[in-house]
Amino acid sequence: MPLKVYNNLTRKKEEFAPIDPSLVKMYVCGITPYDETHLGHARAYVTFDIIKRHLEYSGYKVKHIQNITDIDDKIIKKAKINDQSISEVAEHYSNSFFEVMDKLNIKRADVYPKATEHIKEMIGWIKGLQDKGFAYELNGDVYFEVQKFKGYGKLSKHKMEDQQAGARVELDARKKDPLDFALWKAAKPDEPYWLSPWGNGRPGWHIECSVMSTKYLGEQFDIHGGGLDLQFPHHENEIAQTEALTGKAPWVKYWLHNGFVVINQQKMSKSLGNFFTLIDIYKKFDPMVVRFFLLSTHYRSPLNFSDAQLKEAEEAYQKLTSTIDNLDFLISKVKTAENDVEVAETDDELAVYKRKFGEMMDDDFNTAGAIGVIFELVKFINDHVKEEKIDKESLMHDKQMIIGFCDLLGINLVGKTSSGDQSFNIEKLIEERNQARGGKNFKRADEIRKQLEDNGIILEDTAYGTKWRKNA
RNA sequence: GGCGCGGUACCCAAGUGGUAAGGGAACUGUCUGCAAAACAGUCAUUCGGCGGUUCAAAUCCGCCCCGCGCCUCCA
């Protein structure tokens, strides 16, 4: 079954076919490091992490570029408040970004190009656009003239004449068209600047993505991604600049956008101030729970956030870890198989889940459906584990299957269970309790259970002996 | 005004023509000294509403209601 992706340019699910059949080139819009990373960012980057992982699983090599906008009004403002340089601010929040992303088990991009390291190339592009008649200068500012680019609006489906320009933002009367956007901004006093043919200034926001993506991926590539909020104007403007300059269309074959994180039915956003940083969320929840939560809804749908919903994700995630925990315990207790027949039979049945899982992921990265398959598998395994003739090999295959699926989703299950832990006291108390139980001294047995429980240890008596786990 | 997204059980959520996955919660049962975990059963004759097309609709078409997003910076 072929991989299908929803292309926002055509508004259709399309069969995925990269320009170079063996290498997928993907550019994802990165952060502006002026504040802590929040759940909305996490959703975006988990989404593209999943896309990358599934492409790799499907046999493609993926070249992944993600920019860092390290020069911007908000960074300048923050630097003034903190009495720091803009690079100090950018570096601080970039580092923090990588820290929280690593905890979410997000694979690093191949290159994280910074805007400030590509100013020369940007100036070159802007000059090129000016030479071709797509840009004009106004007192040190340079604007892209939208009317000159006939495809403007093709991504966001905006018709220029229908736009209510100035509906929310004050018009700049000097511009030829309200939709014209800045390629270069003249420096105001007190602002950092670079030298340019138009005087001291700095690049506009959109130009960096065009310049850096084509620098690392070529003039045409496969996937360009980001949050849905970037569709207009950012991505629309990027298309206009790039196709105007290179003359090659389409610049990008597939445009992928993730949906918003929503709080009380409102978009989580910086400007509304209703955002939750990952640093704060991690104080209450394991990053893997956060990742599981983000993947439990399809990436294009809005995702409602609340503690209660994270709590539900935690319960579900723990069902997975406890299954692995139980399997580990059984594996340590059960005999090896007497013949290969039983193992092979189980493997045949497991193959069904593998197929279903793959179909879900091939259908526009349907992680929510794929998680559903994992739980079907868990149910199947727990059921067949009850059989008396269960053997070590089958159990190990079962375990590997669950871990394998979770790996494809970047969900780490290993290291979350308590089976690897050693604690002399716990084992000793369990032994004492079992002696008490043997002598029908249930009062003492329950005392020990309570004592361990108070220390966060839950005991479970099974047919194969007593196992313990940490209380979550 | 333009463009677009969404409305599936108590909650979350998959499903875009073939008769409603999965998770959480709840209740009942099996197991257990008691628990826990696990398993079994119950939990939407129904998918915002009303019409239409079809042998067949949550899925297609039309109208309507509700919520949200973009058209400023935002993942």
Tell me the CA–C1' distance in angstroms for A324 and B22.
Answer: 19
- Cis omega (within 30 of 0) on the bond before A233? yes
Judge whether residue A239 has pLDDT over 60.
yes
Beta strands in A94-251 (DSSP E): 135-138, 141-144, 181-186, 201-203, 221-227
Asked if A310 contacts A293 with a C-beta cutoff of 8 angstroms, the reply is: yes
Q: In whole angstroms, give the CA distance from residue A279 to residue A41.
A: 12
Tell me the CA–C1' distance in angstroms for A333 and B34.
Answer: 24
**Which 8-state DSSP code applies to residue A142?**
E
Nucleotide B22: nearest residue by CA–C1'?
A: A372
Residue entry with tokens 């990373």: A37
Q: Are strands A303-304 and A261-263 parallel, antiparallel or unpaired?
A: parallel
Which nucleotide, over all strands, has the C1' atom closest to the CA of A44?
A: B75
Which nucleotide, over all strands, has the C1' atom closest to the CA of A237?
A: B71
Asked if A471 contacts A456 with a C-beta cutoff of 8 angstroms, the reply is: yes
Judge whether residue A169 has pLDDT over 80.
no
pLDDT by residue (tens digit) across A216-226?
999 999 999 99
Judge whether residue A165 has pLDDT over 80.
no
Q: In whole angstroms, give the CA distance from residue A27 to residue A208.
A: 12
- Predicted confidence band of residue A95 (pLDDT cuts 50, 70, 90): very high
Q: Which fold would CATH assign to domain A4-258?
A: Rossmann fold (3.40.50)
The predicted pLDDT at position A400 comes to 94
Rounded mean pLDDT of A331-337?
A: 85
Sign of CA dihedral A37, A42, A48, A50: positive
Q: In whole angstroms, give the CA distance from residue A444 to residue A426.
A: 15
**Which 8-state DSSP code applies to residue A276?**
-
In chain A, domain spans = 4-258, 424-470
A429-441 per-residue burial string, b: 16 or more CB within 10 A, e: under 16: bbeebbebbeeee
pLDDT by residue (tens digit) across A375-434?
999 999 998 887 767 889 989 999 999 999 999 999 999 765 554 455 558 889 999 999
pLDDT by residue (tens digit) across A15-42?
999 999 999 999 999 999 999 999 999 9
Tell me the CA–C1' distance in angstroms for A299 and B58.
Answer: 21
- Cis omega (within 30 of 0) on the bond before A33? no
Phi, psi of A201 (to 5 degrees): 180, -165
The predicted pLDDT at position A344 comes to 73
Burial of A424 (0-12, 13-18, 19+ CB in 10 A): exposed
For helices A119-131 and A205-217, the axis angle rounded to 10 degrees is: 100
Nucleotide B12: nearest residue by CA–C1'?
A: A309
The predicted pLDDT at position A146 comes to 93
Tell me the CA–C1' distance in angstroms for A385 and B26.
Answer: 27
Rounded mean pLDDT of A173-200?
A: 92
Lowest-pLDDT range of A91-95, A132-136, A162-166, A440-444 = A162-166
Nucleotide B33: nearest residue by CA–C1'?
A: A442
Nucleotide B72: nearest residue by CA–C1'?
A: A169
- Predicted confidence band of residue A471 (pLDDT cuts 50, 70, 90): confident
Rounded mean pLDDT of A429-448?
A: 93
Out of A86-95, A154-163, A443-452, the most confident range is: A86-95
Which nucleotide, over all strands, has the C1' atom closest to the CA of A309?
A: B12
Tell me the CA–C1' distance in angstroms for A268 and B6.
Answer: 16
Q: In whole angstroms, give the CA distance from residue A259 to residue A422.
A: 44
- Predicted confidence band of residue A343 (pLDDT cuts 50, 70, 90): confident
- Looking at A334-441, list the stretches that DSSP marks H as alpha helix, in order from N- to C-terminal side: 341-362, 367-385, 392-408, 424-438
- Looking at A63-135, list the stretches that DSSP marks H as alpha helix, in order from N- to C-terminal side: 73-82, 86-103, 119-131
- On whether A29 is known to bind a ligand per the annotation, the reply is yes
Q: What is the CA radius of gyration of chain A?
A: 27
Q: Does A419 or A5 have the greater pLDDT score?
A: A5
Sign of CA dihedral A37, A43, A46, A47: negative
Q: Does A369 or A425 have the greater pLDDT score?
A: A369
Lowest-pLDDT range of A289-293, A334-338, A417-421 = A417-421
Which nucleotide, over all strands, has the C1' atom closest to the CA of A459?
A: B36
- On whether A238 is known to bind a ligand per the annotation, the reply is yes
- Protein-contacted bases of chain B (C-beta within 7 A): 1-6, 11-16, 21-25, 32-40, 67-75
Strand partners, A255: A224
- The interface predicted TM-score of the complex, written ipTM, equals 0.95
- Predicted confidence band of residue A94 (pLDDT cuts 50, 70, 90): very high
- Predicted confidence band of residue A162 (pLDDT cuts 50, 70, 90): low
The predicted pLDDT at position A416 comes to 54
- On whether A209 is known to bind a ligand per the annotation, the reply is yes
Tell me the CA–C1' distance in angstroms for A300 and B63.
Answer: 28
Averaged confidence pLDDT in chain A: 91
Asked if A249 contacts A373 with a C-beta cutoff of 8 angstroms, the reply is: no
- Predicted confidence band of residue A230 (pLDDT cuts 50, 70, 90): very high
Tell me the CA–C1' distance in angstroms for A285 and B42.
Answer: 32
Please choose, from the candidates A339, A437, A434, A441, the residue with its C-alpha nearest in 3D space to the C-alpha of residue A394: A339
**Which 8-state DSSP code applies to residue A149?**
-
